[in-house]
Chains A and B, each alone.
Chain A
Amino acid sequence: MLKFPIYFDNHATSPMDPRVLEAMLPYFTERFGNAASRNHKYGWEAEEAVEIARKQIADLIGASPKEIVFTSGATESDNLAIKGAAYMYREKGDHLITAVTEHKAVIDTCKRLEKEGFKVTYLPVRKDGLIDLDQLRGAITGKTTLVSIMAANNEIGVLQPIGEIGAIAKEKGILFHTDAVQAVGKVPFDVNASNVHMASLTAHKIYGPKGVGALYVRRRNPRVLLTPGIDGGGHERGMRSGTLNVPGIVGFGKAAEICRLEMASEGARIGAMRDRLNRKLHEGLDELYINGSTEHRLPGNLNISFAYVEGESLLMGINDVAVSSGSACTSASLEPSYVLKALGAGDELAHSSIRFGLGRFNTDEEVDYVVAKLVSVVSKLREMSPLYEMVKDGVDLTKVEWSAH
């Protein structure tokens, strides 16, 4: 039985796993204590639950529990990591490096720092969406203190070479932060193997609750210090004050544990479903372009441009399927996705793109329904597309003088 709308937008958020909800429920009611209350059972049991979750999350990324700092989500984690390190190490240098395809939480944080006098290099990406390691090396100066490169991209799902980036950062003696929100729980991620100093995580992308995230902050080799963004009671080793969201943290921990135990089999299953979607779309339609590397990619991601069809009309035609055109954060604007533009594929292909994000609760039956629907809608819209007609008549669209407006 299909349930509509079919949810293929797991990069935006994921439905909560019922096992996660079950773990959380007692912490809303009978175990309501404040984890910072040291004088009674309510506080002790809340603290104990938080420490269990801290270990569950640490275990997923090969960290020590003491290196996990809880936050409200990955946007806060990115802000804390980048601003916190930039301010803390300002005497050492004022230069940061990131990439043009990063999430807005990283890009806009860097832009804010630029206004405050920091210098930021935004590395371009190659056609496959990955950064060029030689360009990264070339961008590092004596004043560089931090490089922030995401582990997996939220739109095109490509996996950046974080092991190599970590090795370069270690060799040059600079800090390496990675927004690992989309990668953690989906593909193997180990902070020691990749020489990561800081990593942003969030619960709601791994079938946990919204409103809770974490920042991994390395304590050894080297010990990373951060200037806090929120002052107060000195929670979380002084890096993030504020009463802990105990039920959220418990859910985050449970979600992380499930991912650690099931990632290998789940990744294979979701990857096979994604490949089925891709294969069947190609069987039914011509002129499809996959955005980003197909080799270094999250198992659940497929980002395709349906040439000569505009993305918004395509979404309107498949309104019983929840997907996104560009990223959910920018789909209210008319600008095409800055991530797709960065690949240099041309704006019209960016306008024609759909991001599919498959997840734990999707099925082959849903894939088959979505393929049939897309083949029919794309065919209809291409019949309606002057561009498709021109191409079929042998017109080279790049040679046409368009009346820009």
Chain B
Amino acid sequence: MAYSDKVVDHFNNPRNVGSLPKQDPTVGTGLVGAPECGDVMKLQVRVNPDTGVIDEAKFKTFGCGSAIASSSLATEWLKGKTVDQALAIKNTDIVAELALPPVKIHCSVLAEDAIKAAIADYKQKQEAGQAS
């Protein structure tokens, strides 16, 4: 299968690989996918509590080159966005940016799910913090 130049670039030079402290109340973690399906994405965001803006995003992905590129691109896009702006990122935006072929669309869906899961985790932590 031929990969687009952008997929190859993200694969060879992945942006923001790594992990943030999971227990930190300003960090939201999303873990989506399943090993037996061939892809698992862990995507983390750290939100500045004063501004509500995502100031750090990290990922680790087990998956094909397109899955790695989708999550790498997602972390790039997340930085500097508010939580609500982050939730507006659609998998179709990722498909367009990376020129993913039809068989790889599920990679972009997984990346969108990972963003939503990370934000949901962050929001849950915030609500739990306010409640206590």
Contacts and interface: CB of A to CB of B under 8 A. Distances in A.
Interface in B79-132: 103, 106, 109-110, 113, 117
B35 A385 contact: no
Interface residues of A, number: 26
Interface residues of B, number: 33
Contacts of A405: 32-34, 37, 106, 109-110, 113
B62 A308 contact: yes
Contacts of A317: 11
A336 B6 CA distance: 26
B62 A397 contact: no
A19 B17 CA distance: 51
Contacts of A332: 1
Contacts, number: 86
Contacts of A4: none
A312 B37 contact: no
Contacts of A351: 35-36, 38
A397 B31 CA distance: 13
A404 B33 CA distance: 6
B62 to A, nearest CB: 5
Interface string A259-297: 000000000000000000000000000000000000000
Contacts of B3: 316
A336 B63 CA distance: 13
The interface residues of chain B, by DSSP majority, are classed as mixed
A334 interface: yes
B61 A403 contact: no
Given A316-B65, A386-B61, A336 B35 contact: no
A385 B34 contact: no
Given A309-B62, A310-B62, A405-B109, A384 B68 contact: yes
A313 to B, nearest CB: 5
Interface string B26-70: 000001111111111110000000000000000011111101100
Contacts of B19: 389
A347 B34 CA distance: 10
A405 B39 CA distance: 10
A4 B80 CA distance: 43
B27 to A, nearest CB: 15
Given A316-B11, A389-B19, A384 B36 contact: no
Given A383-B17, A384-B68, A385-B62, A348 B42 contact: no
A402 B35 CA distance: 8
Given A310-B64, A316-B64, A387-B62, A404 B34 contact: yes
A403 B117 CA distance: 11
Contacts of A397: 35
B25 interface: no
Contacts of A308: 62
A316 B103 CA distance: 16
A312 B36 CA distance: 14
Nearest to A383: B17
Nearest to B103: A334
B32 A336 contact: no
A309 B11 CA distance: 14
A334 B36 CA distance: 11
Contacts of A334: 38, 103
A403 B62 contact: no
A388 B18 CA distance: 12
A308 B42 CA distance: 13
A403 B36 CA distance: 11
29 contacts: A310-B63, A312-B63, A313-B11, A313-B65, A316-B3, A332-B1, A334-B103, A336-B38, A347-B35, A347-B36, A347-B38, A348-B36, A351-B38, A383-B17, A384-B17, A384-B60, A384-B68, A385-B62, A386-B41, A386-B62, A387-B35, A387-B40, A388-B62, A403-B31, A403-B32, A403-B113, A404-B34, A404-B37, A405-B106
Interface of A: 308-310, 312-313, 316-317, 332, 334, 336, 346-348, 351, 383-389, 397, 402-405
